[in-house]
Amino acid sequence: MYRAGLDLGSSYTKGVLVDDGGHIVDHVAVRTGYDFRAASKEVLDRFSEAHEIQYPVLSCGYGREQLDVPFTSHSEIIALAAAVHRVYPERLDIIDIGGQDTKYVRLTETGYVENFRMNRKCAAGTGAFLEEIAFRLGMDPSLFDAMARRSEKDIRLNSYCTVFAVSEIIGLIKNGSPMPDIVRGVYHSIAKRCEELAIPQHTLVFTGGVPDRHPMIVELFSRRWPDIRTPELPQFMAAYGCVLLGEDPGGSQSVAEPELAETTPRCDDCSV
Amino acid sequence: MPRSGSDIAALASVDQLKAVMGAYFTRVKEAAEDPAQRVAWCSSVGPAELLYAMGFEVFFPENHAAMIGASKKAADYIPVTVAHGYSPDICSYLTSDIGAFLTGETPLQRYGFTSLPRPDILVYNTNQCREVKDWFSFYAAHYSVPVIGIHTPLNVEDISEDMITYISRQFRSLIPTLEECAPERFDIDRFRERIALSHDACVLWREVLETARHRPSPLTFFDASIHMGPIVVMRGTTHALEYYRMLKQELDTRVADGVAAVAGERYRLYWEGMPLWFKLSGMAKLFNSLDACVVASTYCNSWIFDDLDPANPFDSSALAYTRLFIVRSDDVKQQVITDHLREYAIDGIIYHDAKTCPRNSNNRYGLQMRIQRQTAVPYLELNGDLNDSRCYSEEQSIIAIETFVNQLAMRK
């Protein structure tokens, strides 16, 4: 029997399948679209092809109660904290950049959530910001990271409002700025918004779909705070944390020690 | 995760509250329709006692605006006011109230009003904000009636004698203009009577709120936000006094019987800032489902004017209405909040950052971090607004609140 953890987010529904030893044996992310139930079914159907799932499944995220199978739901922040603490059992700060939210979480060495903040009601600094800009530019956001790496120029966008940022980008295009410079500027803008959440005091762990798909944002941030780590599956940490929490909302962690490797941010521009 | 199907035990006094408020609105309506009577509009922490002493019926636009918020129609009205040149970033009480007026609607229609009660004069105190003056000035221009007020210093650390003298003189200087339209000339003894009534009602209101020190608490912040109606609009009258005697009795009985406002109360929270009027019952249900009782608040505690003294009505009015939390410096606010944390045995604080009410959003200058450093009580910042529901993200807020209560659970 395997435990399934699902993080039903605004952009993607992420699922992990965990064995009795606490190892992630499968993971998948599908577009949430407008139907949380369909997205969660797609994830669970995929897991069921090769494995028997134990019910209830464990869920978190905006759609945490939008499932057609028995579930136990958790706060995504508590789940995220449980997973990050399991991988890095030390005092640390987390920045999670998702489709709709950017979150900052401060953990003690025992995994207690000492403080947390979420972005204000504003798309800037989230995946929605990147997707809107990609849409307006007629580009595929999955090409952004490779494109930004072709630039060495630090263009700064002054606007954090998505609409104003697009207007500013149109001005840059008119002035002949190459697209790699502009995309790098967009990444700078997101890194800057992360700075507003809190002043890091400890090792900083980046999680969420945006650091997963746009790791250069983390690299740009590491210029300001070099003590950064990124887990192997940054987008799946909250889903994994649900499994760690199990059916106990108080946060009991009922599975064995996992083996999640970490990666350090790549950076071609500085010594980190 | 939240308990499902948890019901909130409503206070029996709610029926009497409805009757008291209904009778109040009827008096205001009849005064507005009777050429022999006079109506004064007053800001919520303005000189109500003086106006009642001079025979006015007194109408409070902030109470009206909160009713608009609770009716969930503010977001329909605000754009109308914005189109008339007011920014959506200023007080959403102002923008929703004026917008409703320009639209020709009022939540008072259920009390038989066809429009707002026509004012004979508008009287404000800027102790809470400058917006009350701007707000009242709109109506003064519309109705061609005087608008007068008291200008209170802001960010006050220590209240000096000079300050009291300055503000006390402003109270006195209102009288000649008031007498030009008041039903009665100013009489110091009638003023003393109103001050005494207000003082006694404020003491009772304080005692009502202090019942929440008991564990489990017999009332929540969300109850208190509703039951504060009489202390806002009827302080200085016997109606408020009688109502709070009855409410206090019900709460004392709850305490004696061990009846909890939140069955299974596990977490005791403090609410800093304005209510989200359009989400009051939703918030009450959410916290109830999390076994969390919001037992105390800056907001409801702000209507305790127990410095009022009939022996010295002008100076004590100046003191009472300047000692108010919103007027004070951050150092004083920190002391007030930390005292409340101790007195009410608070596990966590929620700072409501109201987008359009900077004066009632006390997490904008680092106070929340200073209080946490001093007390180690965790806090949550919630982005929202008093009336403008467009400034509030429901899903994000629910996740934040649930996480916060989880955070407190891990701490216990």
Q: What is the pLDDT of residues B328-372, one digit of tens each?
A: 999 999 999 999 999 999 999 999 999 999 999 999 999 999 999
Quote the minimal CA–CA distance from B274 to chain A in Å. Answer: 18
Does A188 reside within a domain? no
B361 CA: distance to closest CA in chain A (Å): 14
Q: How confident is the model at residue A100 (pLDDT cuts 50, 70, 90)?
A: confident
Query: With a CB-CB cutoff of 8 Å, which residues 370-399 of chain B face chain A?
Result: 372, 378, 381, 383, 391-393, 395-396, 399
Share of chain B above pLDDT 90, in %: 96
A22 inside domain: yes
- A137: helix, strand or coil: helix
Query: What CA–CA distance (Å, rounded) separates B196 from B193?
Result: 5
- The candidate with the shortest Cα–Cα distance to B323, out of B69, B127, B68, B53, is B127
Query: From the list A62, A72, A116, which residue is nearest B403 (CB)?
Result: A116
Same domain assignment for residues B150 and B227: no
Residue in the block written with tokens 């887990």: A231
Q: How many Å apart are CA A114 and CA A81, to the nearest integer?
A: 10
State the DSSP code for B81: H
- Mutation target to probe the B interface, by most B beta carbons within 10 A, among A115, A118, A197 is A118
The domain boundary residue, chosen from B130, B162, B190: B190
Q: Which helix (H) or strand (E) holds B269?
A: strand B267-272
The answer to whether residue A224 scores a pLDDT higher than 90 is no
Range of the domain at A67: 2-121+193-263
Mean pLDDT of the A235-253 span: 80
Which domain CATH number covers B31? 3.40.50.11890
In a domain, B71, yes or no: yes
The reported pLDDT for the residue numbered A268 is 34
Q: pLDDT of A25-44, one tens digit each? A: 999 999 999 999 999 999 99
Note whether residue A65 is domain-resident: yes
**Interatomic CA distance for residues B389 and B102, integer angstroms:** 20
Using the structure block, give the residue that is written with the tokens 């890095």: A88
Which residue type occupies B262?
A: V
Both B317 and B387 in one domain: the answer is yes
Averaged pLDDT for residues A141-156: 93
CATH number, position A222? 3.30.420.40
* pLDDT tier, B400 (very low <50, low <70, confident <90, very high otherwise): very high
Side chain identity at B80, as an amino acid letter?
V
What pLDDT, on a 0 to 100 scale, did the predictor assign at position A160? 72
A81, part of any domain: yes
Split at pLDDT 50, 70, 90, the class of A199 is confident
Q: How far apart are CA B102 and CA B142, in angstroms?
A: 11
Q: Which of A118-122, B264-268, B293-297 has the lowest mean pLDDT?
A: A118-122
Res. A146: pLDDT tops 60: yes
β-bridge mates for residue B156, sequence order: B328
Interchain CB contact of B366 with A (< 8 Å): no
| Number of domains chain B contains | 2
CB B312 within 8 A of CB B321: no
Residue A209, in any domain of the structure: yes
Specify the pLDDT at position A249. Answer: 55
Q: How confident is the model over B365-399, as pLDDT tens digits?
A: 999 999 999 999 999 999 999 999 999 989 889 99
Alpha-carbon gap, residue B20 to A180, rounded angstroms: 67
pLDDT for residue B412: 76
Judge if B257 and B373 occupy the same domain: yes
Q: Is residue A136 part of a domain?
A: no
Arithmetic mean of pLDDT, B126-131: 94
**B22 contacts chain A (CB < 8 A):** no
pLDDT tens-digit readout, A113-137: 999 998 776 777 788 889 988 998 8
Which DSSP string corresponds to B323-366? SSGGGB-HHHHHHHHHHHHHHTT-SEEEEEEETT-GGG-TTSSS
Residue A253 pLDDT: 39
On whether any CB of chain A is under 8 Å from the CB of B30, the answer is no
User: Can you tell me which residue has the tokens 């009291």?
Assistant: B164
Residue A137 falls inside a structural domain: no
Per the domain annotation, does B195 fall within a domain?
no
Domain boundary among B190, B217, B236: B190
pLDDT tens-place string over residues A45-61: 999 999 999 999 999 99
Within B73-187, residue ranges assigned H as helices are 74-83, 92-103, 131-143, 161-173, 175-181
Q: Which domain holds residue B237?
A: 200-411
Q: How far apart are the first and last CA of chain A?
A: 42
Over range B107-111, report the average pLDDT.
94
Which residue, B190, B208, B241, sits at the end of a domain?
B190
* Proportion of chain A above pLDDT 90, given as a percent: 68
Arithmetic mean of pLDDT over chain B: 96
Of the ranges A3-7, A153-157, B3-7, which is most confident? A3-7
Instruction: Report yes or no on B9 lying in a domain.
Output: no
B1:A73 CB<8 A: yes
Is residue B175 domain-shared with residue B234, that is, in the same domain?
Answer: no
Name every chain B residue with its beta carbon within 8 A of the beta carbon of A114.
378
Cβ atoms of B235 and B260 closer than 8 Å? no
Residue B405: closest C-alpha in chain A: A75
Cα–Cα distance for residue pair B211/B261, rounded to 1 Å = 11
Task: For residues B181 and B221, state if they share a domain.
Answer: no
Q: Is A72 close to B1, i.e. CB distance below 8 A?
A: yes
The alpha carbon of residue B395 and the mean position of all alpha carbons in its chain are separated, in whole angstroms, by: 27
Task: Please give the average per-residue pLDDT across A142-160, as a whole number.
Answer: 90
Residues of A in Cβ contact (< 8 Å) with B383: 120-121
Cis amide leading into A56 (omega within 30): yes
d(CA A63, CA A7): 8
- The CATH number covering residue B266 comes to 3.40.50.11900
Are residue B395 and residue B356 in the same domain, yes or no?
A: yes
Q: Per the domain annotation, does B11 fall within a domain?
A: no
Residue at B3 is within a domain: no
Neighbours of A198 (CB within 10 A): 16
Number of domains in chain A: 1
pLDDT at residue number B381: 96
CA B237/CA B406 separation, integer angstroms? 44
B328 touches B156 (CB < 8 A): yes
Is residue A112 within 8 angstroms of chain B, CB to CB?
A: yes
Residues B212 and B180 in one domain: no
User: Is B83 in a helix, a strand, or coil?
Assistant: helix
- Mean pLDDT, chain A, whole residue set: 88
Task: Give domain status of residue A141, yes or no.
Answer: no
Burial profile A249-259: b = 16 or more Cβ within 10 angstroms, e = fewer: bebebebeebe
Based on the fold, state whether residues B137 and B204 are members of the same structural domain. no
pLDDT at A259: 43
pLDDT at B86 over 80: yes
- Least CB–CB distance from B399: residue in A76, A117, A251: A76
* pLDDT surpassing 70 at residue A257: no
**Which of the four pLDDT bands, split at 50, 70 and 90, describes residue A252?**
very low
